Amino acid sequence: MNSKYFKDPAVALDVIVTTFERTKDVPDISGPIGKLDQLTAYDYTQDDPSLYVWVDSRGGQITVGSGEPPDKPAVTMISGIDVAHQSWSNKLNPMMAMATRKIKAKGNATSLLKLAPLLKKIAPVYNQVLDEKGLGDIKL
């Protein structure tokens, strides 16, 4: 895997999935995600075939998984794992990243872009997961 931050794709995948799982317990994050009422995919497979995560907020519950999603996603966000790390760390503006093609969207990303302010709330959860996984040295 060619990543500046992660050496093992399984660890990177675990960090992303664990972060999304934890956000389900934070009402300020889970509320807006739940209101999306859609299946969203995060495709980081350009760095490793296993790096595919999805979040399903349809039907009032939030489900997180890795690998192929259960249905066709409403939107798929495509980037490398290092761009994802910068984004989840709240060190990369998603609108600027999309404008410069660091992040690409397949489908309608308008609803997701409305959630960009949530990155400030997700970043502490993400950083806590990094610490717990012994990856505090890659925090941005």
Does 72 reside within a domain?
yes
Does 79 reside within a domain?
yes
| More confident position, 64 or 116 | 64
Does 102 reside within a domain?
yes
CATH number of 67's domain: 3.30.1050.10
Domain with 122 in it: 9-126
Does 134 reside within a domain?
no
Q: Judging by beta carbons within 10 Å of its beta carbon (0-12, 13-18, 19+), is residue 4 exposed, middle or buried?
A: exposed
Question: What is the percentage of the chain residues whose pLDDT exceeds 90?
Answer: 86
Does 136 reside within a domain?
no
Does 57 reside within a domain?
yes
The mean predicted confidence, pLDDT, of the chain is: 94
Does 73 reside within a domain?
yes
The answer to whether the CB of 41 falls within 8 A of the CB of 5 is no
| Number of domains, the chain | 1
* pLDDT tens-digit map of 8-63: 999 999 999 999 999 999 999 999 999 999 999 999 999 999 999 999 999 989 99
Nearby residues of 81 by Cβ (< 8 Å), 6 or more positions away? 1, 3, 5, 6, 9, 12, 44, 47, 48, 51
Once rounded to an integer, what is the mean pLDDT over residues 74-88?
96
Does 138 reside within a domain?
no
